Chains A and B, each alone.
Chain A
Amino acid sequence: MTKKIKRVYGYLAEFETASKLYKGAEKVRDAGFKKWDCYSPYPLHGLDHAMGLKRSVLPFFVFFGGLIGFCTAVALAYGTQVMIYPTVVQAKPANLATIAAFFPIMFELTILLSGFTTLFGVLALMGLPRLNHPLFASKQFQKATDDKFFIAIEVRDSNFNKEETKALLEGAGGSNIELVEEEI
């Protein structure tokens, strides 16, 4: 007989509506929590503000990703077609004035690398892909993809306190508050 070991993930509180979730999130934000998250079946405009999230750093990555794509294209097209092996097409010059012919390549590679940076940057910032999430241990959490809204506060947060956090979630309008434990 093996003994099951469980690890506490944190509190999960259910909210009936999006506006209750919104107001609850503002209270949790004001209580100074950092390691917590909201879950809803659909995107909520303005929730990032209610959660006190800062702007994502993703745009900077994308800008430099696009810049790298642009420079690659310039080097690839201009370097090969003008500098290394000047290619004369339809008696057009092979010099700086040829650059108009390379614009489609610059455009495409800028877009391509910006797109890649966006996709992989988003995945990396979200910590995806992952095989499992501790919240999946909760039965009621399945409703997060249907009609219920949730706030989960992790036990790793330095402000976490077994009684006070539960009271805070209750005061914020949460119901069915559950201490989620995952088996390891």
Chain B
Amino acid sequence: MGHFVTSNDIPAGGEKLPDSKFKVAQFIFGGIALVGFIASIAVLCFNVGGKELQGSYSYSWLFALAFFLTISIGGCFWVLLHNMTNSGWGVSVRRVMENVGFVYPFIFIFTIPLLFPVVQDNLYEWMTAERKATSAVAHADKMFSTDENMGGFYGVSEAVKHKLNEMHYALLSAKSWFLNSVAWYVRYIFYALGLSIVIFRLRKYSVDQDTDQNPTTERLYKARGASAWGIPILGLTITFMSIDWLKTLNYTWFSTMWGVYVFAGSLMASMAVVILTTRFLKAQGYLNKFVTDEHFHIMGKLMHAFVIFWAYVSFSQYMLIWYSNIPEETMYFALRNTEGWFYLSNVLVFGHFALPFLLLLPHWAKKKPRYNTCICIYLLIMHACDMYHIIMPQRGPSLSNIWHLDNAPLLFIQGNYMWIGDILAWVTVASGFLFFLIRNLKSVNLYPNQDPRILESANMSN
């Protein structure tokens, strides 16, 4: 056990990263993110690189967004869970979770291109169809467009529904109570504000306590209350965000487990990021007395749990669809079990579950720094594969459909270096993520030095 941490070990005012630290890294990441974002906006929204680039880069951008949004939402979840369950073990790593979660409001800026119809047209067929139907109705005679038939949050107007049916979008017309532009934009605003407010408040409670002359337990109770209503907001955000942005890449597909599937992967990846950040700070000589092997053991166990939970949910989804064998459901897996995607599907089965499950089983796998770091990085790569597997197989069919490439290969479009775009988009958003993470880490103390349970957490054993 060694040395017990006492209040004498807490420096007055807490431990903080000096201003000079990571200045260059932050500058480089910020620069890449800024330049990349401007270039991406030019390509995506103003069609600078041509139609083909715009089409394929829309998917690249969505992939990068999905990867980092899920990670930051996961960070919010760990904070919420920690406060909600009144946990004592993780007080010394709670600030790292808060900082990873607080990237969410900033990283959300990168979703702005999704608001542009030119980008939506490439990604979401239903939006194009709805726009076509709406403009067709607007140009036709005005017989339907009386006030009581106006479309809104609860669905498109009767005239547009009629038009959609005429255009052979009967399924979309039936789903329009959920899938309509008004509701989509309202939900976008909810994603932007809801979770941002939750994580901002929680981090503020935590940070304000550091400098208070009379730090009481009052803020802990407030944070607990705020987490109680924050959890449903997080659940709604990640469920409907994954439906709106990922699942409706093919709006005809049905799955009732989609939200929890994305959620499970997101928690695993975000815990990997929390562990990596903590390990990095420890390697730099911070948090030394306050984060021990015991904390890494618990965090590793949580990550391991969500490796299993991801497998549980994704297999359940697969098996139910495979067993009932309904075309509207199987098309998702039919597409992903064809051609090259078959190998990626198998990589997920063995690489996202079987291998890390066994690698993380021994207790030392969660404690040995180098081994644990490698596993965390590996799991992040697997999370990227997961997101790629969700988004990219749809790119070929959708774009061939839009560009009327009847004779082109359906799944891959030849003569196109789309994967370069995937990497560039990922690097851009990754730089943004790191820039804001460093900014969050530098702006506050590294651990809540005046939390009543900081010593309990530092001396914790499990």
A residues contacting B by CB (< 8 A) are 45-46, 49-50, 55, 59, 63, 90, 92, 100-101, 103-104
Contacts and interface: CB of A to CB of B under 8 A. Distances in A.
A63 B363 contact: no
Interface stretch (B110-118, B317-325, B399-407): B317-325
A146 to B, nearest CB: 25
B461 A103 contact: no
A92 B318 CA distance: 15
A56 to B, nearest CB: 11
Contacts, number: 23
B462 A45 contact: yes
Contact of A101 (B319, B460, B461): B319
Nearest to B323: A101
Contacts of A100: 315, 318-319, 322
B325 A50 contact: no
B319 A103 contact: yes
23 contacts: A45-B460, A45-B461, A45-B462, A46-B1, A46-B461, A49-B1, A49-B461, A50-B1, A55-B363, A59-B363, A63-B361, A90-B323, A90-B325, A92-B325, A100-B315, A100-B318, A100-B319, A100-B322, A101-B319, A101-B323, A103-B315, A103-B319, A104-B319
A53 to B, nearest CB: 13
Contacts of B460: 45
A50 B1 CA distance: 8
Interface in B295-354: 315, 318-319, 322-323, 325
Chain A contact surface mostly = helix
Nearest to A44: B461
Nearest to B325: A90
Nearest to B361: A63
B4 to A, nearest CB: 11
A50 B315 CA distance: 43
A103 B316 CA distance: 10
A64 B1 CA distance: 31
Contacts of B323: 90, 101
Interface in B76-128: none
A92 B325 CA distance: 10
A104 B461 CA distance: 35
Contacts of A104: 319
Given A46-B461, A100-B315, A100-B318, 15 more contacts: A45-B460, A45-B462, A49-B1, A49-B461, A50-B1, A55-B363, A59-B363, A63-B361, A90-B323, A92-B325, A100-B322, A101-B319, A101-B323, A103-B315, A103-B319
A45 B457 CA distance: 13
A83 B319 CA distance: 21
Nearest to A50: B1
Most buried by B among A46, A50, A90, A101: A46
A141 B1 CA distance: 29
Nearest to B315: A103
Nearest to B312: A107
Nearest 5 pairs of A and B residues by beta carbon: A46-B461, A45-B461, A49-B1, A100-B319, A100-B322
Contacts of B315: 100, 103
Nearest to A45: B461
A92 B436 CA distance: 50
Interface in B438-462: 460-462
Nearest to A89: B323
A104 B315 CA distance: 10
A137 to B, nearest CB: 34
Nearest to B459: A46
Interface string B180-210: 0000000000000000000000000000000
A32 to B, nearest CB: 19
Contacts of B363: 55, 59
Contacts of B1: 46, 49-50
B292 to A, nearest CB: 12
A119 to B, nearest CB: 20
A50 B363 CA distance: 19
Contacts of B319: 100-101, 103-104
Contacts of B462: 45
A92 B330 CA distance: 14
A50 B460 CA distance: 14
Contacts of A90: 323, 325
Nearest to A47: B461
A173 to B, nearest CB: 18
Interface in B407-462: 460-462
A59 B301 CA distance: 15
Contacts of B322: 100
Contacts of B325: 90, 92
A55 B364 CA distance: 12
Contacts of A49: 1, 461
Contacts of A50: 1
Nearest to B358: A63
Contacts of A46: 1, 461
Contacts of A92: 325
A90 B325 CA distance: 9
Nearest to B318: A100
Contacts of A103: 315, 319
Contacts of A59: 363
Interface in B352-385: 361, 363
